[in-house]
Amino acid sequence: MDTLFRLVSFQPDQQSFNSSRTSSSSRSSKQANHPLYHNQYTTEEDDEECCNHNDANNNSDNVYMDEDDFSSSSSSKQYYYPYAHQHQPPASATTTITAATSQPQHQTFEPAEFSYPQGFNLDADVDFTSSGKWASEVLLDCARAVSGGDTARVQQLMWMLNELSSPYGDANQKLSAYFLQALLARMTSSGPRTLRTLAAAYERNCSFDSTRKTALRFQEVSPWSTFGHVASNGAILEAFDGESRVHILDLSNTFCTQWPTLLEALATRSDDTPHLRLTTVITTPGGGGAAVAAAVMKEIGARMEKFARLMGVPFKFQAIHHTGDLSGLDFDSLGAPADGDEVLAINCVNALHGVGSGSLRDSVAAALRRLRPKIMTIGFRETLRFFSAYFDSLDESFPKTSNERLSLERAAGKGIVDLVACGTEESTERRETAASWSTRMRTAGFSPVSLSDDVADDRGDPSAAGVFLSWKEQPVVWASAWKP
Number of domains the chain is built from: 2
The closest alpha carbon to 66, from 89, 86, 43, 88, belongs to: 43
What's the mean pLDDT when you consider all of the chain?
72
Q: Is 146 found in the same domain as 240?
A: no
In a domain, 249, yes or no: yes
pTM to 2 decimal places:
0.67
pLDDT of 228: 83
The average pLDDT across 253-260 equals: 86
Q: What is the pLDDT of residue 444?
A: 92
Dmax (CA) of the chain? 78
State which amino acid sits at residue 404.
Answer: E
Tens of pLDDT, residue by residue over 6-27, are: 344 444 443 333 333 333 333 3
* 343 and 473 part of one domain: yes
Shared domain for 216 and 338, answered yes or no, is yes
Query: Could you tell me if 356 and 292 lie in one domain?
Result: yes
Per-residue pLDDT at 131: 56
- How do residues 444-470 score in pLDDT, each as one tens digit? 999 998 887 666 555 445 445 788 888
Residues 220 and 287 in one domain: yes
- Domain-embedded: residue 55: no
Say how far apart CA 91 and CA 323 lie, in whole Å: 49
Task: Encode pLDDT of 101-123 as tens digits.
Answer: 333 344 444 433 444 444 555 55
Report the residue count for the chain: 484
CB-CB contact of 368 with 444 (8 Å): yes
Same domain flag for 93 and 138: yes
Same domain, 244 and 109: no
Looking at the structure, do residues 273 and 326 belong to the same domain, yes or no? yes
Task: Kindly tell me if the per-residue pLDDT of 257 is higher than 70.
Answer: yes
Across 46-55, average pLDDT = 41
pLDDT confidence of residue 56: 40
* pLDDT score at 455: 62
Q: Rounded to whole angstroms, how far apart are CA atoms 203 and 206?
A: 5
Domain that holds residue 338: 208-383+431-483
CATH number of residue 257's parent domain: 3.40.50.150
Confirm whether 41 is domain-assigned: no
Residue 196 lies in a domain: no
pLDDT score of 303 more than 90: yes
State the pLDDT confidence band at 429, using cuts at 50, 70 and 90: low
Distance of CA 326 to the CA centre of its chain: 17
330 & 234 share domain? yes
pLDDT above 60 for 38 = no
Q: What is the DSSP string of 68-130?
A: HHH------SPEEPPSS-SSPPPTT-----PPP-SS----EE-GGG--PPTT---SS----ST
Mean pLDDT throughout 194-218?
A: 78
Looking at the domain assignment, is residue 406 inside a domain? no
In angstroms, the CA 329 to CA 335 distance is: 11
**Confidence tier at 276 by pLDDT (50, 70, 90):** very high
User: 165: number of CA atoms within 13 Å, CB side?
Assistant: 22
Quote the pLDDT of residue 110.
Answer: 43
SS3 assignment, position 104: coil
- How far is Cα 418 from Cα 410, in angstroms, rounded to an integer? 12
Could you report the per-residue pLDDT of 307-361, keeping only the tens digit for each?
Answer: 999 999 999 999 988 887 788 888 888 877 766 789 999 999 877 877 877 788 8
Rounded to an integer, the average pLDDT of 84-95 is 38
Predicted pLDDT of residue 341: 83
Query: Is 460 domain-assigned?
Result: yes
Same domain, 228 and 110: no
Residues 222, 365 within the same domain: yes
